[in-house]
Amino acid sequence: MLRLIPLTLLLCLLLSAPASASRGQTLTFEAPRDLMDPAKRPAALEELQSLGVKRLRVILTWSKVAPGADQRTRPDFQQTTPAGYNWGEYDAVMAAAKERGWPVLMTISGPVPKWATKAKLDNLTRPRPSAFAAFTTAVGRKYGDQVDSWAIWNEPNQPQFLRPQFSRGGRATSPKLYRSLYQAGVRGLEKAGQEDDDVLIGETSPRGTGRVVAPLRFLRGMLCLSSKYKRMGTCKALSPDGYAHHAYTTRQGPFFKPANRDDVTIGVLRRLTRALDRARRAKALTKKLPIHLTEFGIQSTPDKIQGVSLSRQVQYRAIAERTAYYTSRVASFSQYLLTDSEPEVDSDGEKSYPGFESGLRFSDGKAKPSLRSFPLPLAVQRKGRKVSVWGLVRPAGGRTTATVTYANKGSSKYRKLRTVRTDSRGYFRFSANWRSGRRWNVTWENEAGEELKGYPVRSYKR
């Protein structure tokens, strides 16, 4: 006999159902300013562990470890042997991750030694694939037992990492250059005995300009496809294990939709999934690829050009992580920076912010509200007279209980709304009533009896 479900119960089920949630999404943290500094590293590692971080991303820059990087003539050394390079602080970072049992995503990237380029004029233009293959062999032999997965080249659609991006006639040239480097990198890792490791392709930045190739245009060029996703030439299909992308957004927030259809920010991830699926149907890829958002962050003040307020940084970051969670193809999300980049100071003492202010701490080390919210992200989406509450107890590492509280408009007193039981990965979801001006928060007590309290957020409506 068919039984009718009451409308109110049906609404609650729809609001709380994780219909397209990612079942195994992981988080990767990147903190080069803190971890590459011997004086800051121990405290940074302890803080990351307390925040619930369990996986790192490390960009290994070729020119930083290669001998004679600014010379046109290559020094006499064995390019495929780790002993020929000066690994510096990378050794200490990798050892620290191994000691804690943290997997590492290692991105092998340029800039490159001048002697490893075609014309030997700079550290970016037309790196030689054969030299890169030799380098990745050395990297694989050096760190292969400590690396969980690899990515080839950081933001190859950006001119500060690979040149030229365009020909004089406006044709995108970097995709073809990158394809050769990716294939060379895979060969090098295989030669090092890492043929069973996952290797990610792409690592693209989110938006195109007159100097930057838009990510989907870059993807098509890399895979030898036309704008209609038709095969061009005789390029063989590639077999990466995932596509890496940096889905940064703008001050407009995580729902921003770029007008250029070849751009991909966090609010339009479906553009990337559709592009990858069309490429697979065109037989340019051999399999359906998961997406790894290997670099992400929300920039805040004091940068008044790119940054948002501190409270919006908290809210936007949680909404973005929720968006990634509910995009089933996203296998990993990330946080870029623990501590903001150092500002530049001119002769008049005026500061500018050309770097990134996406950290959980200001450049001077002072904590932002995001440091408090990171272990307990909370996003409350309004749907009519109801809200869908999504959250994560990141440090728990398993099932636990937490308390969600609320304060009504004009009140500073928080009241208990619900005690929630998380799933095996620390996530929780439920529906509740909406009320204008209401603020929401979450608290959790760890095994030591210490209470962690998140940062209050307001509901949002998409």
Contacts of 53 (CB under 8 A, 6+ apart): 27, 29, 102
Query: How buried is 159 (Cβ within 10 angstroms: 0-12 exposed, 13-18 middle, 19+ buried)?
Result: middle
What is the number of other CB atoms lying within 10 angstroms of the CB of residue 423?
14
Determine how β-strand 104-109 pairs with β-strand 56-61.
parallel
What are the structural domains of the chain?
Answer: 20-374 (3.20.20.80), 382-458 (2.60.40)
Name the residue with tokens 């250059």.
177
pLDDT at 20: 63
Could you tell me if 442 and 457 are in contact, meaning their C-beta atoms sit under 8 angstroms apart?
no
Distance between CA atoms of 213 and 209, rounded to whole angstroms?
7
Distance between CA atoms of 108 and 87, rounded to whole angstroms?
13
Distance between CA atoms of 278 and 284, rounded to whole angstroms?
9
Distance between CA atoms of 194 and 101, rounded to whole angstroms?
19
Distance between CA atoms of 247 and 265, rounded to whole angstroms?
4
Please state the three-class secondary structure of 132-179 as a single string.
HHHHHHHHHHHHCCCCCEEEECCCCCCCCCCECCECCCCCECHHHHHH
pLDDT at 15: 43
pLDDT at 14: 41
Determine how β-strand 330-336 pairs with β-strand 26-30.
parallel
Residue 223: its H or E element: none
pLDDT at 39: 98
Distance between CA atoms of 149 and 334, rounded to whole angstroms?
15
Distance between CA atoms of 39 and 33, rounded to whole angstroms?
11
Distance between CA atoms of 304 and 310, rounded to whole angstroms?
12
20-34 pLDDT per residue, tens: 676 689 999 999 999
**Comparing C-alpha atoms, which of 323, 421, 308, 415 is closest to residue 368?**
308
Tokens for 190? 């295989």
Tokens for 161? 């990492």
pLDDT at 414: 97
215 three-state secondary structure = helix
Distance between CA atoms of 58 and 49, rounded to whole angstroms?
16
pLDDT at 22: 65
What is the number of other CB atoms lying within 10 angstroms of the CB of residue 410?
6
What are the two backbone dihedrals, phi and then psi, of residue 392, each rounded to the nearest 5 degrees? -145, 135
Which residues, given as ranges, of the chain have pLDDT below 50? 1-19
pLDDT at 24: 83
* CA 273 to chain CA centroid, nearest Å: 16
pLDDT at 8: 42
Query: How buried is 171 (Cβ within 10 angstroms: 0-12 exposed, 13-18 middle, 19+ buried)?
Result: exposed
Confidence (pTM): 0.94
**Comparing C-alpha atoms, which of 274, 262, 369, 388 is closest to residue 325?**
388
Distance between CA atoms of 372 and 441, rounded to whole angstroms?
11
Q: What Rg, from alpha-carbon coordinates, does the chain have?
A: 23
430-455 pLDDT per residue, tens: 999 999 999 999 999 999 999 999 99
